[in-house]
Structures are given as C-alpha cells and as structure tokens.
C-alpha cells in the first residue's frame, strides 16, 4: 500500500496533541477527514495505531513503535523540503509561530507587515499559555518573555523592555492598608500567577539594585492574565501583571497601581528558533525583518 506524507504527518500530529480535534486544527482539516485518513492507514497496515473512545485517544503499543520509527524520517523529509525551498529567492509557503497571548499581540504588527511585503507567504500564529517544544510540535518560531526562552534556542529581542504593574481595585483599598513596600503585602491577599512552564511566578520586586522576590499565596491561581484581571477588578485581591494588560484600567481609575518604584523595566519578549540548517526563504525574510525592527 502507499502511505503518503500527509498520512504520516497525521499520525504524528495526533500522537503529539493527544486529540483528533487538536491535530485536525494543526493540519487544517476536519476531524472527520482526519479520522477517515487514520482509519484507512490502519486498514492498510492491518494494525490499530490508536485506542479511541469518545473522551480520549491513546497510542497502542504498535502505534508507539510506528511513531517512534517514523518521526526521524519525517524530520529528514521536512529538512529536505526546507533545503529545496531555501533555493527560491521569493519567499512563499507557511510560517508557523507559537506565542503566549501577550507575545502574539507584540508580534502581530510585524506579521502583518511581513504578509504585506511577501504576498506568497502565509502565517499560522498560535497563541497558548503552555510553553511548547517548538521543534517537536512543528513550529518555526516561538515568542515568550526573554527569561522563559529555552537555553538551546537562538533568541532575538522582539521589542522594548516590559514593565510590570502591581494593581488592586479601589474598593479593596477601602478595607486594607496601603502597602508601601513588598514587606507590607499579605501573601494570602495576592493572586498567584502560573507561568507557561508550569512554575508559579515569584513576583520580582527590585529597588535601588536590591532584589526582593515575593511569593504570592492567595486562594486563586491563574495562568491567563485576562482571568486574573477580572478577579482583581472584582476585589479578589492584589494582582501582578504586564503593564500593557492593565494600562487602560489604571488610566480609567478602575485599578490602583501599587509599589511603582519596586517594578523597574525587565527584558521584554524574544523571538526564538532552533539552529536549523538550510532555512526557507520565508523564514530568513521574517528574521531579517525582526532584526530590522529590533534596530529601530
């Protein structure tokens, strides 16, 4: 039987994502079409690759062996395609970028400028909270705060330094004393932040060169700034945010900023990628534009 590249990519995508629906989105096809494709492949092979229920999907032993053996070959095929595409002078094809929600906002103007400049290019910008392995999950580039970029990646500053803001609702201050330093904060009144790598954020306070990390211990833990913002607006406690996420609330008086002299500028977002060989013309052009923007 013939097994096409699309079928192999489908098998790997389902194994990577653990879900037919998520894999179908990655592959830009319907869940039904993906299920039929895998069904035909399993029929041709004469072996079941996945155990499927209405709630879950898991590789069988034969499926795990198949994916393990196919993955290196797929990587070689993709490298060969990239090599061939790198010979083109005019960028074309798809560029896949994985970013945090805030990182996606930061890179959006660059992406739009890139698409205007190179009409044969497409960009798939995926925003999510978790920190993914961009190589294993088929992304060309990642965007995260500089201190979250994996050490084995090449990083390029994407924009200016970021500043954080400690904020609280006015009603909260009516019932609590105004904190003048991190030592005045009640940890149990502070909303905890879960980072994309799963760790809890230690609020990085700093003043006059003195660092004073702070561990929030509130009853609410959030990994999405929008949820934490709503909680703070509702008077649930004190929140720690990237300044841009709450700037409008501060300007409108809906939130009060605290400890401003304890939150200096910190490194902003970085664009990062692996040290790949023979990058495509589109990949090279996007990096050139990112470097050009970083210099301005």
CATH number at 151 reads: 3.40.190.10
16 and 80 assigned to the same domain: yes
150 and 272 assigned to the same domain: yes
63 and 105 assigned to the same domain: no
135 and 61 assigned to the same domain: no
Q: Is the pLDDT of residue 143 over 90?
A: yes
Would strands 192-193 and 221-222 be described as parallel, antiparallel, or unpaired? parallel
237 and 278 assigned to the same domain: no
179 and 257 assigned to the same domain: yes
Mapped onto helix, strand or coil, the DSSP state of residue 177 is coil
Q: Which of 58, 86, 114 is the last residue of a domain?
A: 86
**Residue 118 · residue 94 · CB < 8 Å:** no
175 and 211 assigned to the same domain: yes
**Residue showing tokens 């790598």:** 197
152 and 11 assigned to the same domain: no
Residues in the chain: 296
76 and 103 assigned to the same domain: no
Query: Where does the pLDDT of residue 40 fall: very low under 50, low under 70, confident under 90, or very high at 90 and above?
Result: confident
Residue 98: per-residue pLDDT = 95
Which residues have a Cβ under 8 Å from the Cβ of 206 and sit 6 or more positions away?
212, 262, 263, 264
Over residues 183-228, the pLDDT tens digits come to: 999 999 999 998 877 889 999 999 988 889 999 999 999 988 899 9
**What's the domain count of the chain?**
3
Over residues 232-259, the pLDDT tens digits come to: 999 999 999 989 889 999 999 999 999 9
171 and 242 assigned to the same domain: yes
Name the more confident of 48 and 83.
Answer: 48
Domain with 138, as residue range(s), is 93-160+268-295
Q: What is the mean pLDDT of residues 172-190?
A: 93
Q: Is the pLDDT of residue 260 over 60?
A: yes
CATH number for the domain spanning 46: value is 1.10.10.10
252 and 208 assigned to the same domain: yes
52: exposed, middle or buried (Cβ count in 10 Å: 0-12, 13-18, 19+)? middle
15 and 81 assigned to the same domain: yes
Residue 54: per-residue pLDDT = 66
Mean per-residue pLDDT over the chain, rounded: 86
Q: What is the mean pLDDT of residues 13-24?
A: 81
Q: Which of 53, 86, 119 is the last residue of a domain?
A: 86
Round to whole Å and give the CA distance between 71 and 49: 15
């Amino acid at each position: 039987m013939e097994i096409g590249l699309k079928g192999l990519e489908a098998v790997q995508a389902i194994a990577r994502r653990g879900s037919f629906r998520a894999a179908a989105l990655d592959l830009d096809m319907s869940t039904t079409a993906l299920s039929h494709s895998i069904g035909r492949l399993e029929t041709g092979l004469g072996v079941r690759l996945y155990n499927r229920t209405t709630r879950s999907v898991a590789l069988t032993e034969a499926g795990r062996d198949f994916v393990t053996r196919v993955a290196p070959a797929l990587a070689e095929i993709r490298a060969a395609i990239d090599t061939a595409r790198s010979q083109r002078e005019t960028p074309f094809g798809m560029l896949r970028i994985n970013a945090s929600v805030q990182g996606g906002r930061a890179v959006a103007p660059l992406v739009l400028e890139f698409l205007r400049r190179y009409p044969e290019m497409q960009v798939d910008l995926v925003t999510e909270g978790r920190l993914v392995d961009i190589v294993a999950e088929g992304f060309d580039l990642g965007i995260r705060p500089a201190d979250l970029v994996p050490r084995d990646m090449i990083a390029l500053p994407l924009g200016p330094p970021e500043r954080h803001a400690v904020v609280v609702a006015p009603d909260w201050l009516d019932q609590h004393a105004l904190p003048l330093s991190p030592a005045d904060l009640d940890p149990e009144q502070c909303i905890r932040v879960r980072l994309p790598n799963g760790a809890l954020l230690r609020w990085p306070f700093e003043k006059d060169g003195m660092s004073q990390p702070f561990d929030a211990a509130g009853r609410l833990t959030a990994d999405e700034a929008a949820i934490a913002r709503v909680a703070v607006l509702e008077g649930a406690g004190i929140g720690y945010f990237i300044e841009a996420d709450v700037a409008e609330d501060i300007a409108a008086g809906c939130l009060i900023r605290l400890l401003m002299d304890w939150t200096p500028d910190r490194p902003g977002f970085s664009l990062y990628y692996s040290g790949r060989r023979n990058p495509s013309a589109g990949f090279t052009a996007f990096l050139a534009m990112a470097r050009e923007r970083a210099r301005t």
